[in-house]
Amino acid sequence: MTDRYAVIGNPVAHSKSPVIHAEFARQTAQDLTYERILAPLDHFRASVDQFRAEGGKGLNVTAPFKLDAFALSADCSERARSAQAVNTLKFDGSLIYGDNTDGVGLARDLQTNLGVTLGGSHILLMGAGGAAQGVLRPLLEARPARLFIANRTLDKAARLVQRLRDNGESKNVDVQAGSYAQLQGEGFDVVINATAASLDDTVPELPEGVFAAHALAYDMMYGKGMTPFLQLAGTQPGVRVADGLGMLVEQAAESFYLWRGVRPQTFPVIAALRSQ
């Protein structure tokens, strides 16, 4: 019997996940289908239960349900516990297992696809919401010299840093929180936009000197072309820019591996999506 998987969210029609997983299944000769599920905002659990009752094997979870998926998980990975959010559900009998593959997807895109050395680097993470929390653990595991979390609401970033320290996740890394105004002249090697600003075609106010020479500016948003953040970064001498399409494919590959036990090739899928 063909195994069923899906992505669940609201909205979800824009999701490229069905195309990605169809290609992964073709590559690895896996017998599965993958669909989209539009869940009502107040009926996430009911939608998951219905999918499981119909024989579904696993779900990718997108906005705004990642916190709900974490609460629904009977067991979860350490990286999901760290993020306190789940983007991948695996069903094994009555057990619901949750994982968060966003961070490893970002780290692989940065290091493998874009050739960035995270170890010993100085990283600026813009934003302290769910997107930022989902990628913190893998970024810290790469052992940068410094990770600065900037947010418009300073208290939110400070609480996030304190949680990392309390959990022992920030050991061996200089982790700080602060405002955007504090960043003048800091010269970060990697600047990651994890805010929702690109959805509104805006950009947080970044002072002069944020980008080091030959820095990478990375917007976790994809599908919107040159966002205002990437446009701003592109005006800085020597700065490279990248969107989050590679992260999308890499996190999907990690979900696929969790479900099927085989790891697909990501580069051809990224190239095919970019050509579209």
| Predicted confidence (pLDDT) at residue 71 exceeds the cutoff of 80 | yes
Secondary structure letter of residue 113 according to DSSP: I
Give catalytic status of residue 66 as yes or no. yes
Pairing of strands 56-61, 88-92: antiparallel
Domains of the chain as residue ranges with CATH: 3-100+247-275 (3.40.50.10860), 103-243 (3.40.50.720)
pLDDT tens for each residue of 102-119: 999 999 999 999 999 999
Question: What are the pLDDT digits (tens) for 6-45?
Answer: 999 999 998 999 999 999 999 999 999 999 999 999 999 9
Mean pLDDT of the chain: 95
Confidence of residue 180 (pLDDT cuts 50, 70, 90): very high
What is the mean pLDDT of the segment spanning 169-179?
93
**Res. 173 pLDDT band, cuts 50 70 90:** very high
Which stretches of the chain are DSSP H helices? 17-28, 44-53, 66-72, 78-83, 102-108, 130-141, 154-166, 228-234, 245-260, 267-275
Question: Which of 16, 57, 66, 171 is the catalytic position?
Answer: 66
In the chain, % of residues over pLDDT 70: 100
The CA-based dihedral angle spanning residues 135, 139, 77, 46, taken in that order and rounded to the nearest 10 degrees: 10
